[in-house]
Structure 1
Amino acid sequence: MAVPPKRGPGRPRKVPVDEQRALVLAAAAQVFATSGLAGATIERIAREAGLTRQAVYEVYGDKRAVFAAVLEQAEEQAYAAIATVGVSDTGLDLKSWARRNYANLFDFVAEHPVVLPLLQEAERAGDPALSRLRERLARVYTEASGRRWAALGVEPGRADTALVTMYFAMVESLVGMDWHGAAPDRDALVDLLTEFTIGGVLRLYRRAPEVIARVR
């Protein structure tokens, strides 16, 4: 019985534009996070995405445009994930709420390892994406924490915005720290931050309320 000849590969499937955009963004996020804006190239992004350089140029134009799109995606992804937890669990007391949010920040960085490096690279490149994200989250967290402070008889006023900004900075420093060996257990760091920030502010309010009053 004769065996029918095999068909040739034919034309490669044309990737829809929306799919091309998604492929470029995923590849570019990795490239920018590991090589920075200066070290990234359209050629490498295209190779990682499995597309041609021409395809990347057609959907985004140039490297700066790709970088801007990646940053927008990273900022919105971080805001959605972090702010959602910040406003949830309205029944939690201050310390439990703070601990849950610290844990969420650590988990987000672990599950999305390119987001923080991307936002930090943006700051180095002159785009205040990370500062903008902190400011947006600070508004959410200040409102949510303010209600909980009030339940404890504490009225931090504008000091709460400063405190929230400090909290974010501490988490960013800890998750990116080189521990010269195995990093401490995540829960240990979460507990440290919770006790240091919430317990510390409560002690400050009771023993040196004038410090907070000067920032209100």
Structure 2
Amino acid sequence: MPRKRGPGRPRKAPAEEQRVLVLSAARQVFATHGVQGATIEQIARQAGLTRQTVYELFGDKGELFERTVADTEELAFATIAERGSGDADLDLKSWAYKNYASMFAFVAEHPDALPVLQEAERAGNPAMTRLRSRLAEVYTAASRERWAAFGIEPGRADTALVTMYFAMTEALVNLSWPGAAPDRDALITLLTEFTVGGVMRLYSHAPEVLDRMR
């Protein structure tokens, strides 16, 4: 009969599972303390692993930070782009509202993501800038189809507008409000009406602005 395994130290988690644990912990620690203030000890403790394991998996703190930033950028792109590129049946305003809501939802689901990307920018890694550019390509193609329903050809203004969408959303989700924050739906509606209504007003009252962007 095979011998039963007696009590003792728990089995070591597979390396890939450990990497996932470390990256998740690192995102939290880097978001809270920044790359300068974070330590491998803090990350290991957060992940429930030893410092030696973290070093074996990722080398030093600098390499771990770069891997964390890359992982966070891919997470943000995959999540936001997937939500924004679908729903071909939605009209322009409904589509814009949905995508603003998706940005707010991503921040709520992954509160450490934007702080890590912003910390990367401060450290000289243009991760946030790169993410905006990648998302702009996806959203520009999708929004152009919807503007066409209004007879509007925004040209390069479309890329500028998508970049503005993300910048405004980032600013609002990170804003410290005096007192209680406004209802999230109100903020999303504000962004939707401001951007869609603003372009429609340009088209009807100052079309030369859009012409100069082509």
For the residues of structure 1 that align with 2:178 and 2:132, how far apart are their CA atoms?
28
2:113 is the alignment partner of 1:115:
yes
- Pairwise CA distance, 1:131: 0.6
Secondary structure at the aligned position of 1:92 is classed as coil
Q: 1:135 is paired with a residue of what secondary structure?
A: helix
Alignment partner of 1:168 out of 163, 166, 169: 166
Corresponding position of 1:70:
68
Which of 156, 159, 176 is the aligned partner of 1:158? 156
Taking the aligned partners of 1:20 and 1:95, their CA distance within structure 2 comes to 43
State how 1:1-216 maps to structure 2 within 5 Å.
10-216=8-214
CA drift of 1:12 comes to: 4.2
Provide the C-alpha distance between the structure 1 equivalents of 2:84 and 2:16, rounded to a whole number of angstroms.
Answer: 32
User: TM-score normalised to the size of structure 2?
Assistant: 0.95
Q: CA deviation at 1:10?
A: 2.6
Partner of 1:4: none
| Structure 2 counterpart SS, 1:139 | helix
Following superposition, the deviation at residue 61 of structure 1 comes to 0.4
Cα deviation, residue 9, structure 1: 5.2
Provide Cα deviations, 1:6-60, integer angstroms capped at 9, x if missing partner. Answer: x985334323211221111111110000001111111111111111111111000
Q: Higher mean Cα deviation, 50-59 or 162-171? A: 50-59
Q: Distance in 2 between matches of 1:78 and 1:71?
A: 10
Tell me the distance in 2 between the aligned counterparts of 1:46 and 1:107.
Answer: 28
Gaps of 5+ in 2: none
| Structure 1: tracts of 5 or more residues without a match | 1-6
AA aligned to 1:62 is D
State how far apart, in whole Å, the 2-side matches of 1:113 and 1:171 are: 14
**Cα RMSD, aligned residues only:** 1.3
Identity of aligned residues (%): 69
| Equivalent pairs, count | 210
Matched residues in 2 for 1:197 and 1:173: separation? 15
- Name the SS of the counterpart of 2:57 in structure 1: helix
Read off the aligned partner of 1:104 and give its amino acid letter: S
Q: By how many angstroms is 1:127 displaced? A: 0.5
1:100 and 1:11 mapped to 2: Cα distance?
49
